[in-house]
Structure 1
Amino acid sequence: MSKTTAGRFFEDYRIGDVINHAVPRTVSGGERAMYHALYPARTALYSSDEFARACGLPQSPVDDLIGFHIVFGKTVPDVSLNAVANLGYAEGRFLCPVYPGDTLRSQSEVIGLKQNSNGKSGVVWVRTQGVNQHGAPVLDYVRWVMVRKRDLEAPAPATVVPELAAVVPAQALIVPEGLDFSTYDTALSGEPHRWGDYAIGEKIDHVDGVTVEEAEHMLATRLWQNTSKVHFDGTQRADGKRLIYGGHVISMARALSFNGLANAQMIAAINAGSHANPCFAGDTIRAWSEVLDRAETQAPGVGALRLRLVATKGGRDVLKGTDGKYHPDVLLDLDYWVFMPL
């Protein structure tokens, strides 16, 4: 009997399946150092214990997307090892900060299935929750992924496409316990722009760009223990290219957005996200943002800003054509909430 596994294929999923993902991960300061080496991340709350304490937290958490990548990475062997592409996200909420020393694990439930018309693959929707060593949820989200079939003759399952909220309501955002921006220091954070300085409909060109290198994206993906074959094995695609992990694009774009959004300190929710076009080594990632909404919170000095973050491979201020399809240069379209000082 074989002791190895080829992973799950589309026909192996059933609605209601609950998957407890293997290998809990204890977070260390090394995660932060590697993250900041891979991405131009400079947000003050995640860089300085003293700044974080001045904002009411016990110490500096690790960047929100570190927690996201770790929780996501746990799911890959069970959900997307045989994926063609990771397609999108919805209903994501960051429920409590992740600190060095926390141990994270993941669980997913299959909530949707739809075979593609070509009969060679299908889309799987899962709701994933990450919890820490105390059993406290740190984040949850829905994602959907296109997965190959092993047996092309396997019957198609009944189609179930989950109804997902377009936006996480502002009142459902969870402000971390103790967070207080009433004495927030903009000199230390790097920019003077606060919540009230941003207008709905405003667009921000984040100016900078970073060219993706093959070694860096594979290092990042290994860091999160993401084993999806398309990121490492050039034989998985007809063009022989290794697909850049979509989370690498998210982290790069979020880090680039510091220029213009330095005080967007904490990610509160992911409303929606689409990996519009594939990214490959040699592409240069640039980013722009649009302010979609604003909301106040009950926490002292803390406001919530809803942003659209668009990552492109060169094009500035591009999104969709008149046909409603994404411009070929668009890599990521991410709708998310952040907490920032009033």
Structure 2
Amino acid sequence: MMSKTNAGRFFEDYTVGEVIEHAVPRTLSGGERAMYHALYPARHAFYSSDEFARDCGLHEAPLDDLIAFHTVFGKTVPDISLNAVANLGYAEGRFLKPVHMGDTIRSRSEVIGLKQNSNGKTGVVWVRTTGSNQLGEDVLSYVRWVMVRKGDVDAPAPETVVPDLADAVKAGDLVVPEGLSFANYDFVQAGEPHRLADYKVGEKIDHVDGVTIEEAEHMLATRLWQNTAKVHFDATARDGGRLIYGGHVISLARALSFNGLANAQIIVGLNSGAHANPCGAGDTVKAWSEVLDVAETGAEGVGAIRLRLVAYEAEGDPFTLKGEDGKYLPHVLLDLDYWALMPV
């Protein structure tokens, strides 16, 4: 009898070049915003106040960029990472259009690379995922790669294809939201006086604060973004308990970065990212940032700042990343390289 259930794809089920349309479209509302701000200490003014966003040239405050990211990402999980061992990295991410309440988001992915691991039990799958709205406009595009189990260890290895990915999104390829201007930017309402000229390449910022991850919060986040990866919600799928969804750590770290980077308002590029070590309930997450680059944009008063955002367990030291062997130190949870827009 034919099964009507879906056990998810395994490594041997992917083919380079195939395009996967993901279920299920999702209409976003103020509920996602309220839940996002309940889960994470997110305080950037551009996403908190319609009036602040109007003063910056938009008709209302969009939803947080990472709400769009998590929504697009969550759609892909049943087809890409349901049987994943780990989500390994990100590249070439661009936020193409703000997402507003009432927008319906859907996702599609193209398989762009495959490489079986030497153990013959797992392989790495690279996909380029694009999220679009109800008008067919693309709102987000990024590449990620995941380690996926083989369902049949005797299945032949596919031809190895490793995509050639850019080290970073070029500043000239960043998309500034239509109409955005920081000419009337209110630094008092934003929470800090620091503008782009106050940040220097190589500067490091300790964001000071920490958040202890609770099991209930993580499970709410996993369900909110409809992330069905077994390692996140099924305690029997992984030795040592449920693995905290990497996007949960990204949002925590981004929210913590407000203290020192309150005016890095809008994420527009995702250059690279690594979930360096597993994170579990009870861990206290702290964060620090390093300024990697600054650039101009064509929008009035709007500059771009490239940042390395590192999340780490509170027992570790800030500003430490890798050991002499080049591997991430055990306390490092996330190493994220992104572009944000900031008043010049």
The TM-score bracket by the shorter chain reads: over 0.9
CA drift at 1:204: 0.1
The residue correspondences of 1:247-286 to structure 2 (distance < 5 A) are 247-286=247-286
Q: Root-mean-square deviation (CA), in Å?
A: 0.6
Partner of 1:134 in structure 2? 135
3-state SS of paired residue (1:25): strand
Cα distance per residue 1:192-232 (max 9 Å; x no partner)? 00011000000000000001111111110110111000001
TM norm structure 1: 0.99
8 Å contact from structure 2 (residues 131, 139) kept in 1: yes
User: Is 1:291 matched with 2:286?
Assistant: no
3-state SS of paired residue (1:286): strand
Partner of 1:33 in structure 2? 34
Cα distance per residue 1:52-100 (max 9 Å; x no partner)? 0000011000000000000000000000000111110000000010000
Partner of 1:333 in structure 2? 335
Partner of 1:217 in structure 2? 218
Partner of 1:51 in structure 2? 52
CA drift at 1:238: 2.5
TM norm structure 2: 0.98
* Counterpart residue type for residue 299 of structure 1: A
- Stretches of structure 2 that go unaligned for 5 or more consecutive residues are none
Partner of 2:325 in structure 1? 323
* Counterpart residue type for residue 306 of structure 1: R
User: Is 1:180 matched with 2:193?
Assistant: no
- Stretches of structure 1 that go unaligned for 5 or more consecutive residues are none
CA drift at 1:322: 1.4
* Counterpart residue type for residue 324 of structure 1: G
Partner of 1:305 in structure 2? 305
Partner of 1:7 in structure 2? 8
8 Å contact from structure 1 (residues 244, 278) kept in 2: yes
Q: Tell me the distance in 2 between the aligned counterparts of 1:183 and 1:214.
A: 42
3-state SS of paired residue (2:24): coil
* Counterpart residue type for residue 160 of structure 1: V
Q: Tell me the distance in 1 between the aligned counterparts of 2:252 and 2:87.
A: 17
Q: How many residues end up aligned between the 2 structures?
A: 341
8 Å contact from structure 1 (residues 246, 275) kept in 2: yes
8 Å contact from structure 1 (residues 114, 160) kept in 2: yes
Partner of 1:84 in structure 2? 85
Q: Tell me the distance in 2 between the aligned counterparts of 1:285 and 1:82.
A: 27
The residue correspondences of 1:119-268 to structure 2 (distance < 5 A) are 119-239=120-240, 241-268=241-268
Q: Percent identity?
A: 76
* Counterpart residue type for residue 8 of structure 2: G
After the TM superposition, which segments of 4 or more aligned residues of structure 1 sit over 4 Å from their partners? none
Q: Tell me the distance in 2 between the aligned counterparts of 1:235 and 1:115.
A: 25
